[in-house]
Each structure stands twice: as structure tokens, then as C-alpha cells.
Structure 1
Amino acid sequence: MSLEAKKKGLKQLQSFLNSYLSAFQNDNLHDGYQEFNDIVVKSKQHNAWFSVQNIHKAIGSWVEALSEENINTWLKPYDLNNINKKKVAIISAGNVPLVGFHDCLSVFLTGHDLVLKYSSKDKFLTPYLLKFLQNTGNFDSKLEVTDGQLSDFDAVIATGSNNTSRYFEYYFKNKPNIIRKNRNSVAVLSGNETDDELKNLGNDIFQYFGLGCRNVSKVFVPKGYDFSKFFEAIYGFGDLIHHHKYANNYDYNKAVYLMSEIKLFDNNFLVLKEDQSYSSPIACLFYEHYEDLNQIEKKLNIDRDLLQCKVGHLDFTEIGFGETQSPQLWDYADDVDTILFLKDL
């Protein structure tokens, strides 16, 4: 199948997703979109972290990403002709809706067959959209969806925790592979941020309940930083505490810290704890003071393999406030070019 045909298929997907969101907002879910809305509802019922709002946020991000201009920019550097078809296994995470969809798209675009081992937390959305792409008639990749053990494949892309990655590295050592581990995202504040920038930082922290590797889990702040302005800016996210799983995590982690007599900042839906680690629990945000920005730049450069996003308006930060959960198609996870990996199999 030609690349132009595949691009046409992506545009059909974008149009479908955009029309679905519009139909939902206008309470006009006729037959063409009711089936997909049932998938959205089923996903929410299966995984309480997958609120309809968050699923729609993920869908909206894909609508924006799959513009004709973005697709052309993404694929322009690659020669995708004469690729030797292989069977590629994707072991997907399930922390946020559609988190493994980019990998699956990359397999389809390079013409390989796909074996998707979905996460038990996200078993409906991605398979449905992949079957939609197949039904456009613009892709010739075979699709196998499973929750069982993988046995017949030529290469693998696997995403998991640091613990599971060690298993992946051993099990798949004789196959071409991309193995992704835990990463976290950080923000570096100068103290001169506007209210809007801090509010946008709230999106980076709270979108998808903070479950994604692109969610900010730690902030670096100048010594003596006053968090009151930050708390005022993120006040609008307070409804998160009404989500039972988020509230349970907030109550549990706060109680554990208080019993350990750890000094905290708290606004009744987010706990701030001073900590050198990058990975904070749900409903918590770690912070660390600095006196020299050059030292922070050096530290983040040394730890670059632990980080997904560096947020701020400083020279060495790479992503603006509020932009972490809207990556471009060419913003590859862990900076590993998935298309290039698949093209050269």
C-alpha cells in the first residue's frame, strides 16, 4: 500500500474522531458514533482512571496531531518504500488512554504486521481504532490483538516499569527491540512565572490524574520560593479530589507523610513534599530548592535518561508550560525514533 494511501487513512481517522467529539458535545450520537461512544463508556467502566473527560482529551490530542501538515512533517524524512515486512509485537502500557497508539501507528505506516499485547487497563480503545484504520482499506498490515503470551514475532516494542523492563531485556535479548522504562517529567521555575503559566503547569501536573510519564512529578524552585502564588493558580483543579481513586491516594500518601512527621505543603487536593527523587506518588508533587540554575541544568543533563520532559521558560528547558500532554507526532518517547527502528528491520 502506498504512503499516500496510508496518509489518506490517517485523515479518515482524524475526521472520524473529530466528528465523534462534535457529536458528543452536541448530544447527537447517531449510529455512526454510538458504537465508539460505547467503547469509551466501556473503557471508563473497566478502568476508573479513564474518565470520559480524559479519554476525550486523548482523542482531541490525536485530532490535533493528525493534521495533514503534521503528518507530512512527520513522515517527510523517511523513505518507506521497499520495506521488508516483519511481524512486530507491541507490549503496551495502560497508564493513560491510547498511550501505545503512536507505536501501533508507526507499525502500520511502515507496513509491518502488528501483534498488539494490550494492557489489561486499556483493552478497548486502541484495538477499536486500529480496526477502524484497517477498515479504511488504506493499510495492508495484519492485526492480531491478544492478552496472552507472545510467541511468533520478529521485533518488539515494550513499555513497562523499571522492574518489568529487566524481564523484557532478558526475554527479548535475541530480537530487535525498543524497551522503555519509567521516566518522569520535571518543571524548573524561576519565580517569575505568570499566573497563566502556573495554571498551565497545573495541566502538566494533573492531566490524566498525573499518571503519565509526561506529567510533571517534580518542580525545581529557587531558594525561598513562596508556593502561595502556585496554589492560587492551580485552585481550579480542586475538583480532582471528588474522584474516589485520586482522593484515596491523596488521603493515603498524606497520612503516611504526616505519621513520619515530614514537613508538607497542602491545599486539600495536592501534597507538596521536598524530595530529591523525580517520581512522586499520585496527588503528590515533589519539589527541590536551588541556588544556582547552572547546577540544575547540569543535573538534568546528567539524568536525561530518567526524564521525559523538562518544562519551563528557561534556555535549557524544552517544553512550554501546559504542553507536555500534546506532543507532536515526531516527539518520540525516550527520544528513540520508532519509525527509523521499524524501517530498518
Structure 2
Amino acid sequence: MTVPESPVGAHRVLEPAGVLPQAAQRLDTDPALWPGEVRVRVDRLNLDAASAHQLRRAADGDPDAVRQQVLGIVRSRGKMHNPVTGSGGMLLGTVEEVGPQSPLGLRVGQRVATLVSLTLTPLALGDGLERWDGRGEQVPTSGHAILFSRSIAAVVPDDLPEETVLAVMDVCGAPALVDRVVRDRLGRGLRADVAVLGAAGKSGALSLAAARAAGAGRLVGLVPVEEEATRLRASGLADDVVLADATDPLAAAEAVRGALDGHGADVTVVCVDVPGCEHGAVLATDDGGTVVFFSMATSFSAAALGAEGLAADVTMLVGNGYTPGHAELALTLYRDSAGVQQLLGARMGA
């Protein structure tokens, strides 16, 4: 330990020098703690949807190849940081040791879910992922992770299954940001019709529930296939369910605007885990509206240059995964919404 400890984890960066852990190529996973750190005994990862989709596609659906990809990334980088999508996920585990100067308030033995990305969390796996089928986003495993002084973790509540808690907390930034945007519009006396692209997934379902709870107007859920449309209609989360490919900008915009009697959404939330949804989201949004990109497949340049080329006067927000109180809000929405429980249960195979 020849460099001073950094609250944001810069002391764990092995290469290149001068960057923070998220931008690092490789992190130090030494289990010996610095004074402000916490070590977690990891037993489950949750890959973010964009990363999981890309890994399956790159492996042609071969689960063994998917497992080897994940193992290779973690071994080479000291973190789960997909080099293609730039994303990772989060983890669940038990607090194993707490440094004497840690400000996180965690105690040994607590079950916690991390609310910071695996792309900046030192992670070492001690197994070959033999218990994972290589298909789902949740990955049973064994290993350890390091939390920094500025890391965020939530104690797992005991009234819900841990797999459910992990699934909800994985996307808890989305409903919190939607809640904030909708309440801000309503507070200024503006209309707040909301469209969610990718509405039948975890973040999509919770975003719809958050918009409803915040007092939004009409809620439009866009999905790509009839199977998802049927589930979304049955959940009751959306007022209108429309079928379109979110990567087809003209079709997506036409579907949303058709459901809203010709005008665009005031708030459009992108929860689709594949690239190419930026232009459709912009076209589906009225001037003066807001587009929330809550997908790790989003391209900043495509969004910015696309909006410019369309002469679209929209505010574009990148969901950074953190809003104060986001975990508590997401779990409350899950507990209070039968529709969210229904959609997430179907997604998790419950």
C-alpha cells in the first residue's frame, strides 16, 4: 500500500494510471482491506440486460461460451466490465469484513446488494460458474468484492426473496428518475404523458409504476412482440400498449403518437437493451419534452446528433443509476404493484 487510499477507489487501479476504477482496464482485487473499505463475500451477480444480451449474441446462445466470456472478463480485468457494452451489473452477498474507517455503516454478517456498477467494483470469483446455466441474468457464484468509501450498498430486506430484491435493485435508478421528471413537470403545471420503450422488462415495468404513482397522465408501453404485449396488457401498468420495433424510428414514433391522439409523449423512457433506439425515442417525444435513456446500449452521439438533425427541442437525460432514495422507492413500487410483481415474476420464471 504505497499510495494513499482514495474514497472513490483510485488506489485500486492497476492500469492505466490516473483514471478512476470505472475507466480502468484492470483493478486490484486483493482481499486485504484498506481502512475505509468493506469486503463482501459474493454469492450472486446480476448482469445488466444490455451486457447479458450482447454476451449471448456473441456466443451464438451457447451457455458454456457465455460462462467462459464472463470468467475471462473478471479474471483479466478484476471486475465485471463488458468491453463491448461498457456495462456490468451488480451483486448480492454477505459483509465479510469492515475496515475501521468505513463510512458505509455496514456490519459483518449483513446481506447486502451493491448499488454501484460491477464496472468499478473489484471482483474475484473463486469458482468456474458451474452453478450458472449461462442463460439468465442472475449468476450464482462464489467470490469476493471490495466496496470503497463512496460505494453504495443496501441491506437486503427480509420480506422478499433475495432474487427478487436483486432484480429490483438492479434497475432502481430508472423509476426514481422517472418519478423526479414527472413530478417536476407536474409541479410546473405541464402535461406529463409518458411513453416507455421496452415496457415489459424490469426497468420498464417499474418506470410505468413510478410514473403512475407520481401522477402522470396517459401511460403508453411499447414492446416489440405480441407475447410481451399480452403480458403488459394483463399487468394493467399501461393505459395503452403498442407494438413496434424500438429500433425502427418511424414505426416507434408512429405507434406512440397514435396512442396519444397524434401528439408525442412528454416523457419518453428508453429501457430497451439493444442499440439503435435513440432516434425513435426523440421522434416519439413532443418539443419541450424529456427523453430518459436508461439503457447501457444507448449511444450519446446517436442521441445528440439525431436530435440535432431532427430539430427536436427535447431535453435528454442519461440515467446514471443513482438518485437519493432510489432503492427504497423501487422496492415500495414492487410491493405495492401487482402488475410489477406479475411482469417481474414472468421474467424471472416465477
**Structure 1 length normalisation: TM-score?**
0.29
Higher relative contact order (CA 8 A, sep 6+): 1
More helix by share: 1
More strand by share: 2
